[in-house]
């Protein structure tokens, strides 16, 4: 099996990170993988924000979990079962902000997948995290957007938590019944 297919087959969503941060070189490689993503009409409707400030990540995590508890969100108990951390103690997050244009949602998804696959290929762990929109949409949302330096006109598209895995997990099983050949 070639290396790309092996990376795709072996990658899993990590929900248990060590405190060790990715290196500057690893982060630069992840950013380059993000920027190399294809997009509709090559419009590149994203802005990439790398957050290596663990205290900011933890603060956003705490606010999101508090919002889930107060609002009795259905995801809250699942997160508590997984350790009570929405971002799983990740030391780094990459936010993919969207300009909201026609294909931006799809394009931001492609960027997140490029980041996740690149991370795995470099021995890093990742989890694609749409739940990061929660703290950005709450009472402290505008403050968080300011601290993240979100450009005017951009909104949350997707995020990816990055770091070193604290524990291993097997990739999900392939479900052949999800495929039809014509």
Structure confidence by residue, pLDDT tens digits, 54-87: 999 999 999 999 999 999 999 999 999 999 999 9
Using one digit for the tens of pLDDT, what is the confidence trace for 134-143? 999 999 999 9
Label each residue of 58-115 as H, E or C: HHHHHHHHHHHHHCCCHHHHHHHHCCCCCCCCCCEEEEEEECCCCCHHHHHHHHHHHH
* CATH number of the domain where residue 72 is located: 3.40.109.10
Which pLDDT band holds residue 1 (cuts at 50, 70, 90)?
A: confident
Tokens of 95: 């936010």
What's the total number of domains in the chain? Answer: 1
Using one digit for the tens of pLDDT, what is the confidence trace for 143-159? 999 999 999 999 999 99
Domain that holds residue 104: 3-178
How high is the pLDDT of residue 168?
86
48: helix, strand or coil? strand
CB-side exposure of 115: number of CA atoms within 13 Å?
A: 31
């Amino acid at each position: 099996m070639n290396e790309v297919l092996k990376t795709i087959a072996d990658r899993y969503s990590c929900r248990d990170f060590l405190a060790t941060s990715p290196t500057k070189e690893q982060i630069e490689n992840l950013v380059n993988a993000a920027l190399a993503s294809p997009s509709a009409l090559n419009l590149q409707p994203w802005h990439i924000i790398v957050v290596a400030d663990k205290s900011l990540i933890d603060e956003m995590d705490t606010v999101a979990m508090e919002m889930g508890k107060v609002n009795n969100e259905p995801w809250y108990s699942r997160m508590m079962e997984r350790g009570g951390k929405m971002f799983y103690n990740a030391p780094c997050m990459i936010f993919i902000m969207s300009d909201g244009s026609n294909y931006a949602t799809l394009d931001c998804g492609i960027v997140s997948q490029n980041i996740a696959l690149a991370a795995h290929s470099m021995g890093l762990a990742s989890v694609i995290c749409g739940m990061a929109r929660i703290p950005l949409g709450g009472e402290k949302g505008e403050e968080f957007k300011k601290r993240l330096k979100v450009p005017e006109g951009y909104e949350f598209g997707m995020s990816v938590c990055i770091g070193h895995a604290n524990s291993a997990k097997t990739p999900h099983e392939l479900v052949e019944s999800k495929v039809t050949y014509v």
